[in-house]
Amino acid sequence: MSKIAVVDYGMGNLRSVAKALEHVAGDNAVVVTSDAAVIADAERVVFPGQGAARDCMAHLRERDLIGPVKQAAAEKPFLGICMGLQVLMTHSRENGGVDCMGVFAGEVAYFGDSIAREENGELLKIPHMGWNTVRHAQEHPLWRGIEDNSRFYFVHSYYVKPQDASLAAGVTHYGIDFVSAIARDNVFAIQAHPEKSAADGLQLLKNFVGWNGGH
């Protein structure tokens, strides 16, 4: 049995993420925690989130969690969800500009600065909210059992622009093609909410529970 830590920094849809993980965890323990020692002791770490980047970083600082989260991302199977993807970048344009954790070089951009608001005669709303397809940009163990261009549930106004194009693990179209998932070594992070994405989302979480952090 291994321990899966869900990082609690005072924001994010923790209950639904934890419940979805428990559904697929088998004998593994799912622990929602803001304790750095518990995060360090866990075999796998999930970093979920929603809301604004400035608030996310402020809450992480208040709880002295930036170091432990970055350490987890360096050492063990790590899954970022929604804001848990965005704050892995260097900088976000949200809230007038916010420095993020800088695990990967790149910025978080606003859809309104990037997309024509109308496509195929349809007004594109911001936030991008609802079901959309994710094209696999690379083979990855977390895509196992999930068909290319499967649909996942999104709620966001900002999207990541990693400097290294090879980080892209998934791409989604909403006015533009944007990176909706990244992967490097033991880190996988996705803009969509797998805990709200029906069978394919649960499959991704199940794949994470069994993932050793390699390719």
pLDDT at 116: 72
pLDDT(107) > 80: yes
d(CA 116, CA 28): 45
With H, G, I as helix, E, B as strand and everything else as coil, classify residue 158: strand
With respect to residue 43, please indicate whether it lies within any of the assigned structural domains: yes
Q: What is the pTM of this model?
A: 0.96
CB contact at 8 A, 81 and 195: yes
- Percent of the chain surpassing pLDDT 70: 100
d(CA 28, CA 192): 24
Look up residue 142 and give its DSSP letter. G
With respect to residue 182, please indicate whether it lies within any of the assigned structural domains: yes
CB contact at 8 A, 32 and 21: no
pLDDT at 36: 95
pLDDT at 122: 77
Residue 129's Cα: distance from chain center in Å? 16
With respect to residue 214, please indicate whether it lies within any of the assigned structural domains: no
Confidence of residue 194 (pLDDT cuts 50, 70, 90): very high
CB contact at 8 A, 189 and 182: yes
With respect to residue 215, please indicate whether it lies within any of the assigned structural domains: no
With respect to residue 169, please indicate whether it lies within any of the assigned structural domains: yes
d(CA 38, CA 68): 10
Question: Averaged over 12-34, what is the pLDDT?
Answer: 92
Confidence of residue 96 (pLDDT cuts 50, 70, 90): very high
pLDDT digits (tens, 9 = 90+) for 154-193: 999 999 999 999 999 999 999 999 999 999 999 999 999 9
Q: What residue numbers bound the domain in which 39 lies?
A: 3-209
pLDDT at 92: 97
| Cβ-Cβ contacts under 8 Å for 65 (sequence gap 6 or more) | 7, 9, 34, 36, 39
pLDDT at 15: 87
CATH of the domain at 56: 3.40.50.880
CB contact at 8 A, 161 and 153: no
Residues recognised as catalytic: 82, 193, 195
pLDDT(195) > 90: yes
pLDDT at 67: 96
Number of domains comprising the chain: 1
